[in-house]
Amino acid sequence: MTDVLDPPAPSFAPARINRRLPAHPVVAIVGATGAVGVELIESLTSRDFPVAELRLLASARSAGTRLPFRGRDLVVRDLTEDSFAGVDVAFFSAGAAVSRRFAPIAVNAGAVVIDNSSAFRMVPEVPLIVPEVNAPAMVAHGGLIANPNCVAAILTVALAPLAQAARIRRLSVATYQAASGAGAAAMEELRQATGACLEGRSLPPRVLPHPCAFNIFSHNAAVDPETGYNGEEEKVIAETRRILGRPDLPVGITCIRVPVLRAHGMAVSVEFETALSVDEARRLIAAAPGLRLVDDRAANHFPMPVEASGQEEVLVGRLRQDLGDPSGRSLALFLVGDQLLKGAALNAVQIAEALLPR
């Protein structure tokens, strides 16, 4: 549900057998009352996913809550070991600890689990999927598929068409990450803190480690004292390499939290092995699925969180040659994607769509 540092991966590794979904699957959402859970419900609705039955699951504290789905209210049930009988696909978005305990139970009950936590992302037997980038890796998924870190998902879908045209040699990334990455409570804290600041009041942070209104700070994942990189940066490096199929790709990244409700921004410099022109990069991005080119130099109009929020597409622009590379093989760009959608819920639903009968 969040992009803070999660516990190490468990040892569970499903057998590599390919499970497909029925035409009208029984769907479960674990963590249904969280920010991503709510967006999963919305994505199932907006994309007309063929749900036979939807089961909303959460902790005992949230059980009994009612959430709307296609014109009626569904009651959230307490998550137990018996919750997955008859479930065809289960979306997990309740954190790594919950996934580590309940995902194997769901898989053993016959469900395909699409997990939004970091629990299984680096387990070799578990595919880590962005459908526009590496959908073939879903073959023989064994009942468990990992949804990437929000930054890695948004970043790789933007890089994919460029990487197909010219092999990437090096990446340098700076992120501008919204409060949504730390969950619904962080988003509410930003709302309240902004109001307090405008009224001249002080509101001590409770969810995030530093004041979030009118402030930016280094991402709140733990920092490795040896490397100086935090857990979020380490996740993005490892997952970007895995999604792109480039285990040795040099990636430098700095992750920053900014006072934006939702939609992460990224300033990216991409060095290619052979030069790729700005015009060709624009053409590739404009034609690629899941992307929208927003690159109007005359109007100084480029990707913004306010325009990406609530949108399925990742916005890409500020395309130009990176003058910091005298070889002429590097491009600079800026992209923004909704962390709750392409960075989480939408990507998960797209994975499930790929498993439906064709």
**Tens-of-pLDDT digits for all 358 residues of the chain?**
444 444 444 556 665 556 789 999 999 999 999 999 999 999 999 999 999 999 999 999 999 999 999 999 999 999 999 999 999 999 999 999 999 999 999 999 999 999 999 999 999 999 999 999 999 999 889 999 999 999 999 999 999 999 999 999 999 999 999 999 999 999 999 999 999 999 999 899 999 999 999 999 999 899 999 999 999 999 999 999 999 999 999 999 999 999 999 999 999 999 999 999 999 999 999 999 999 999 999 999 999 999 999 999 999 999 999 999 999 999 999 999 999 999 999 999 999 999 999 8
Task: List, in sequence order, every beta strand (DSSP E) within the chain.
Answer: 26-30, 53-58, 66-69, 72-75, 77-78, 89-92, 112-115, 144-146, 168-177, 217-218, 251-257, 264-272, 291-293, 314-321, 330-337
How confident is the model over 133-173, as pLDDT tens digits?
999 999 889 999 999 999 999 999 999 999 999 999 999 99
Instruction: Render pLDDT for 187-209 as a digit per residue (tens, 0 to 9).
Output: 999 999 999 999 999 899 999 99
For position 12, what pLDDT does the model report? 64
Q: Which residues contact 13 (CB under 8 A, 6 or more apart)?
A: 123, 124, 125, 126, 142
Q: What is the pTM assigned to this prediction?
A: 0.93
Active-site annotation, residues: 150, 264
> In the chain, what are the domains?
26-148+344-354 (3.40.50.720), 153-339 (3.30.360.10)
